[in-house]
Amino acid sequence: MMFAAAALAVLAALGLAVVRALRGPTVFDRVLAGNYVGVGAILLLALVGFITDRPEFLDIGILYGLLNIISTLAVLKYWRYGDLSHGGDEEPPAT
């Protein structure tokens, strides 16, 4: 029962994060909200794994966490430099 209540709380927080991702107002707010959606999905996977007594869901959550970190860094690098292949040794272009 307690895990089900926690899963509902995580779903409510995910709903708020989706609203923040859609409304913005800046790109960085949207990236942060998208990152939280990934973290919330990992929490939800772990909770569902405990509720259904299937610990292999934690492995899926770990993999999803790694993908979340890589995608967040890629999006931030793209917004800073305008290119994913930028080496980072130069200044970003002036906007």
Summarised one tens digit per residue, pLDDT across range 17-37 is: 999 999 989 888 888 898 899
- Compute the distance between CA of residue 51 and CA of residue 1 in angstroms, rounded to an integer: 9
In a domain, 91, yes or no: no
Tell me if residue 27 falls in helix, strand or coil.
Answer: helix
Please report whether residue 86 resides in a domain.
Answer: no
| Residue 11 maps to a domain | yes
How many independent structural domains does the chain possess?
1
pLDDT for position 88: 66
Assigned domain for 87 exists: no
Opening angle at CA 58, ends 69 and 10, nearest 5: 75
| Any domain includes 18 | yes
Domain membership of residue 44 as a residue range: 2-81
pTM score, two decimals?
Answer: 0.74
Answer whether residue 89 is part of any domain: no
> Residue 92 domain-assigned?
no
Percent above pLDDT 70 for the chain: 92
Asked, for residue 31, whether it belongs to a domain, the answer is yes
Question: Torsions phi, psi of 54, nearest 5?
Answer: -125, 95
